[in-house]
Amino acid sequence: MGRTDSTATSPGAPGGLLDGAPARSTAVTAVGADEPALRRLSRFAPAAAAYLLLVALLLAADTAPADIARYTFYAVWGVLLPGTLVFRALRRRPYTLVEDLVLGAATGLVLELGAWAVLMPLGLQKAAIAWPLLVVVPFAAVPGLRRHWRPRGYRRQSAGWSWSVAGVVALTSVYYYEVFLSRFPILPTSETTRQYGDLPYLLSLAGNATHQFPPTVPQAAGEPLHYHWFTFVHMAMGRLVGHVDLTVIEMRLMVPALAALGVLVTAVVAQRLSGRAWAGPVAAVLVFAVGEFTAVYPNNVSSWTFGAPAVRLMSFVSLSLTYSQPLLIALIGVVGDVLRRGRESGPSGRESGRDVPLLGRGAYVLTALFALASSAAKASSLPVTLAGLAFAGLMVLIGTRRIPWPIVGLGAIIGAAQLFATAVIFDFESYGLEVIPFGNVQQYWADPNHSRTAAVQAVVVAATLGAFLLNHQLKVVGMLPLMWRRRFNLEPVQWFLLGGAIAGPAAYLAVNGFNSSYFTIAGLPFGVLLSAWGYCESFERAALPRRARAALAVGVLVVAGVLTYLLYRHSDAWVRWAAGLLGDKPRSYGPLLPALVAAALLAAAAAVVGVLWWLTARAVPAMRRRGGIVLLTATLAVGLPGLGLDVLQARHVTWEGSWILPKTQVDAARWVRAHSAPTDVLATNSHCWQFDDYVFGPGCNNYRSHWLGAYSERSVLIEGWAYAPRLMATAGGAAATTAPFWDQDLFKLNEEAFRQPTADILRRLHDDHHVRYLVVQRKAGAESPDLARLAPKVFDNGRVAVYELA
């Protein structure tokens, strides 16, 4: 048990698709029972350092220590503990402690969904803090389950691996502090405080999930919520179990916590599937530190040429993406583990002790759990996963001429989860997405006047698709040397990853609508895992000495720093110069020119360096066969400037999606929350939210008022309806910002209660629609003087007044 395996290698298993697979380094050490206690504790130093750094950043961002402590309690008691116990019971043999804890945490996210689904219909929300006892008690009482409290046989990750992964976690924490935590208060502090536009809406969904089963649209009381709402159940459970205010969870705690889990899940899944420990940190860096290839600054909505960017920027404006990512990567991990079955077996059919042990039959149960949670965590997750499985099944069928029944079984499990979400959660709602091939990109090659020749048009089309690949897909190029060396004789798990990597961008190109860009983002983890795998193989083959490895790392940082500086200082001039290369006439593909020209210049520079390298290598043998790894590293890292540029943008440029959220409005909503029951309904005259301030009546073209439902955590009869599923389906998946409310009789009743109130109108609101409070937003129009005679005024801060219906 005490022997070190960190330098041991094992050959690929013989037979089938695995012939000729290169050796793998497991880079783990068996944990000995006689290890000194101090040394055992030192293994947790990287995790402790990353956690304490995050705590320090949260404190610096005015997060109350008590909230941090309560959320930590929730994460450990309500997610980590029950999830780890169940995961240990499902996996066959232990591998590393970090894997048990990380995949256990992902399992815990699934279990809390089940706990919520049981507690809510029974009205037992107050008992949510005790739900983990449903797992803890059996594991303490049943003899066969007690062993999972202290499993034996772990192998220890190397210190370098642990500190590297902890470093990526720390990097994400610092990034979120710079771009979000330190920039936006938990609650507005003035009348000009800015807030990301969608966050109040997302907060309202979480508040609704604390008392409504199933959740409904808070801004239209009783309207079904056919949406991927599992994220907001997670937030609600944080409130119910940890007793942390939802605003603190949303604005401080949830995003960095889930990002850290995403980093860790990526690292352990990359190691499990590739058999290479260092694929873990590489994959984590590619997912969380390397952004899109772009030559434009700032990275605002107007410069998003191919939909939403990857996880970094979207993490705090698309909470469903933040929540779904660790679940999706965990799903990839357990599906891939089933597909790699056989690779770890020697001639006797028994697993090699130096390889990553298989999860066993429990992987199918874990697949079902992660698929079910992913189904309504983000609607893009399972379609991409199913496409990856279908691709793997087809390639294995062609290669072996036998039906791959494990793939069929996995497809049936994931397909059932997709059917459940489509029928039960989404009610077959498409949100307006349509299959229109190249609908999202054809604007760049549009030629309405038919002024181009067929040859020129073909070049423009090819350049557009090339720009798309450059923008999103450079971080997956590590898969290319892997496929080349194996002559496309890939393992089933590699076909699966390749299929998912292709399916994501293919779905974006096939399905029209902004939200289809999430298919691209869903496909990136598949490609990144395969890319990290291929990069590690290439790095091993290069066999760089220590000084060369250090020089390569320093070179990457220098190149990233230089590109960051150039883009920050000279982006405007660069964009004008690139556009001027083809004349000053406006062109449909004009937004793509900066990136395309930058790519051409970088490729030319790489070619020159390559020639010089080849010439030098003739005289310096140590440089031979090592230029490829330098080029591959540079290509993977070319998106690194995005991280620094996001930080600079947060300091100097207002993000286009932020709106004014006045303190007085939030104060009024929170007063209502403190003086009402969860079942109470509110009515308001506030329906419109503009970027600068409130505009009402004919000037309102943005029916996205969400502040009252968000900060009161109550349902509103009619507030802002632009995100109602029935309307988004008519707007191609976008917000229906100008669409009228669908029930004009109810809308008229609502408005008359404020403008021309009568006793009968107020009685109908109270008796028929259960309205308790009328909330007047005076920027939308002052209430009628008659209202004070008909209902007592219970709150007034000048901007907002509240009247109670009895």
The string of pLDDT tens digits covering residues 123-164 is: 999 999 999 999 999 999 999 999 999 998 899 899 999 999
Q: What pLDDT, on the 0 to 100 scale, is given for residue 4? A: 36
Q: In angstroms, rounded to a whole number, what is the distance separating the alpha carbons of residues 562 and 227?
A: 43
Distance of alpha carbon 734 from alpha carbon 747, whole angstroms: 23
**pLDDT above 70 for 418:** yes
- Determine the Cα–Cα distance for residues 649 and 300; give it in Å rounded to an integer: 9
The mean pLDDT of 479-507, rounded to a whole number, is: 95
Which has more confidence, 449 or 697?
A: 449
Distance CA 87, CA 102 (A): 10
Mean pLDDT of 60-74: 98
| Cα→Cα distances 529→278, 380, 494, 539, Å | 12, 18, 9, 15
> What's the pLDDT tens digit per position in 240-279?
999 999 999 999 999 999 999 999 999 999 999 999 999 9
Q: How many C-beta atoms surround the C-beta of residue 123 within 10 A?
A: 10
Structure tokens that stand for 773 in this block? 């409070």
Record the pTM: 0.92
- Amino acid type, 598: A
Alpha carbon distance 118, 769 (integer Å): 27
- Which positions ≥6 away from 523 have C-beta within 8 Å? 384, 500, 501, 502, 503, 504, 505, 507
Query: Per-residue confidence at 313, pLDDT binned at 50, 70, 90?
Result: low
Question: For residue 456, how many other CB atoms are within 10 A of its CB?
Answer: 11
Residue 476 per-residue DSSP state: G
What mean pLDDT do residues 601-623 have?
90
DSSP state of 194: E
Pairing of strands 793-796, 771-777: unpaired
Whether the Cβ atoms of residue 231 and residue 324 lie closer than 8 Å to each other: yes
| Among the listed residues 105, 28, 94, the one whose alpha carbon sits nearest the alpha carbon of residue 330 | 105
Tell me how far apart the alpha carbons of residues 610 and 613 are, in angstroms, rounded to a whole number: 5
Q: pLDDT tens digits, residue range 721-766?
A: 988 888 887 766 677 788 889 999 999 999 999 999 999 999 999 9
Poorest-confidence range of 377-391, 422-436, 757-771, 787-801? 422-436
How far CA 52 is from CA of 69, 710, 744, in Å, comes to 12, 31, 54
Average pLDDT, the chain: 89
Residue 699 banded pLDDT, cuts 50, 70, 90: low
Query: So what's the pLDDT on residue 770?
Result: 94
**Above pLDDT 90, what percent of the chain?**
72
Write the CA distances from 218 to 144, 337, 387, 682, integer angstroms: 46, 41, 35, 10
Best mean pLDDT range from 133-137, 318-322, 652-656: 133-137
Question: 416: phi > 0 → left, psi -120 to 50 → alpha, else beta; which?
Answer: alpha
Residue 173: is its pLDDT beyond 50?
A: yes
Q: For 268-277, how does the pLDDT look when each residue is reduced to its tens digit (9 = 90+)?
A: 999 999 999 9
CA–CA gap between residue 404 and residue 396 (Å, rounded) = 7
Percent of the chain at pLDDT exceeding 70: 91
Q: Using CA atoms, how far apart are residues 517 and 513, in angstroms rounded to an integer? A: 8
* The pLDDT of residue 17: 32
State the DSSP code for 693: S
Alpha helices, H only, 186-229? 199-209
pLDDT range class, residue 21, cuts 50, 70, 90: very low
- Structure confidence at residue 653 (pLDDT): 81
Q: In sequence order, which residues have a C-beta less than 8 Å from that of residue 682 and are 6 or more positions away?
A: 672, 676, 708, 709, 712, 714, 715, 716, 717, 771, 772, 773, 774, 775
Lowest mean pLDDT among 164-168, 298-302, 408-412: 298-302
Cβ(642)–Cβ(286) below 8 Å: no
Which three-class secondary structure state does DSSP give residue 702?
coil
Taking 70 as the threshold, does the pLDDT of residue 697 lie above it? no
Examine the pLDDT at 480 and tell me if it is beyond 90.
Answer: yes
Assess whether pLDDT exceeds 90 at residue 579.
no
Higher pLDDT, 320 or 701: 320
- Please report the pLDDT score of residue 13 as a whole number: 34
Tens-digit pLDDT profile for residues 518-563: 999 999 999 999 999 999 999 999 999 999 999 999 999 999 999 9
Q: Bridge partners of 224? A: 216
User: Of 486, 487, 497, which is closest to residue 532 (Cα–Cα)?
Assistant: 497
Res 195: pLDDT: 87
Tens-place pLDDT, residues 385-413: 999 999 999 999 999 999 999 999 999 99
Return the pLDDT at 278: 94
Question: Which two three-digit tokens encode residue 475?
Answer: 């971080």
Would you give the distance in Å from CA 324 to the centre of its chain?
5
For the segment 65-93, the average pLDDT, to the nearest whole number, is: 97
List, as one string, the DSSP characters of 154-184.
-EEEPHHHHHHHHHHHHHHHHHHIIIIITTS
Transcribe 747-797 into DSSP letters.
HHHHHHHHHS--HHHHHHHHHHH-EEEEEEEGGG-PPPTTHHHHS-EEEE-
**DSSP symbols for 614-636:** HHHHHH-GGGTT-HHHHHHHHHH
Q: How far is 279 from 268, CA to CA, in rounded Å?
A: 9
pLDDT digits (tens, 9 = 90+) for 330-376: 999 999 999 987 444 333 333 333 488 999 999 999 999 999 999 99
